[in-house]
């Protein structure tokens, strides 16, 4: 069995006690969790662009594909991103070898507003996260960054919304984290499904 098949077919040891699904979903979805502890191991060009390629195959309204990905993979590029990520997130994200800013075009090709651009960008991010998990990589999306500063530093036009910065890399030892984060370095659980699903109409 290949490493990819093992990841897809088996529940990872670190999630076994934290995540138990009510229905037979693929272990791939349970194995995906947002670490803050990244190792200094570099992500290969092949794996990085496999993750980005998976994201670009996500579904979108009218196939507009509004998502855009701004990638920082060199020390010089990451240093720019570090200037607009907030201090709380930077305390752990600074060790991630790749940072990806996810944005989306608010306008369709004909200039009309695209009401689905953010929804579609979310689909692309989810595809990115799942493909990363299949490769043995970890992702962590963060909304804590200065959008105005990011827009200025990366020369991003106003027609693009900036959604999240994704840290991408291999899982590291939690000892690299500040002490406050070490206690939180476990896969989180989910609310019961019956609190989130409504058949027909909303019920309190």
User: pLDDT tens digits, residue range 146-184?
Assistant: 999 999 999 999 999 999 999 999 998 888 888 888 888
- The total of structural domains in the chain comes to 2
Domain for residue 43, yes or no?
A: yes
Question: Do 165 and 73 share a structural domain?
Answer: yes
150 and 70 in a common domain:
yes
Q: Is residue 25 domain-shared with residue 110, that is, in the same domain?
A: no
Range of the domain at 12: 1-31
Residues 100, 25, single domain; the answer is no
The DSSP call for residue 80 is H
In a domain, 62, yes or no: yes
* 203 inside domain: no
Residue 194 included in any domain: no
- Whether residue 198 is contained in a domain is answered as no
**112 falls in which pLDDT band (50, 70, 90)?**
very high
User: pLDDT digit string (tens) for 35-71?
Assistant: 999 998 999 999 999 999 999 999 999 999 999 999 9
Please give the C-alpha separations between residue 75 and each of 62, 81, 89, 93, in angstroms, as whole numbers: 37, 10, 18, 13
Which of 63, 187, 36 has its CA nearest to residue 124?
Answer: 63
Query: Is 73 in the same domain as 2?
Result: no
Element (H, E) at 9: helix 3-9
pTM for the structure as a whole = 0.92
Q: Does 190 map to a domain?
A: no
Q: Are residues 147 and 100 in the same domain?
A: yes
């Amino acid at each position: 069995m290949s490493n990819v098949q093992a990841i897809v077919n088996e529940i990872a040891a670190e999630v076994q006690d934290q995540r138990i699904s009510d229905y037979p979903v693929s272990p791939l979805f349970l194995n995906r969790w947002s670490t803050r502890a990244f190792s200094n191991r570099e992500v290969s060009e092949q794996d990085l662009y496999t993750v980005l390629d998976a994201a670009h195959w996500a579904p979108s309204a009218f196939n507009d594909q509004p998502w855009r990905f701004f990638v920082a993979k060199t020390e010089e590029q990451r240093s720019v991103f570090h200037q607009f990520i907030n201090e709380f997130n930077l305390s752990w994200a600074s060790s991630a070898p790749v940072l990806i800013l996810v944005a989306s075009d608010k306008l369709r090709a004909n200039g009309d507003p695209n009401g689905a651009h953010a929804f579609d960008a979310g689909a692309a991010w989810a595809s990115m996260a799942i493909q990363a998990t299949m490769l043995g990589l970890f992702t962590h999306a963060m909304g804590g960054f200065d959008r105005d500063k990011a827009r200025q530093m990366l020369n991003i036009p106003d027609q693009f919304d900036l959604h999240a910065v994704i840290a991408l890399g291999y899982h590291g030892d939690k000892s690299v984290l500040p002490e406050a984060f070490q206690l939180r370095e476990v896969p989180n659980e989910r609310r019961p499904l019956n609190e989130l699903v409504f058949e027909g109409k909303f019920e309190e």
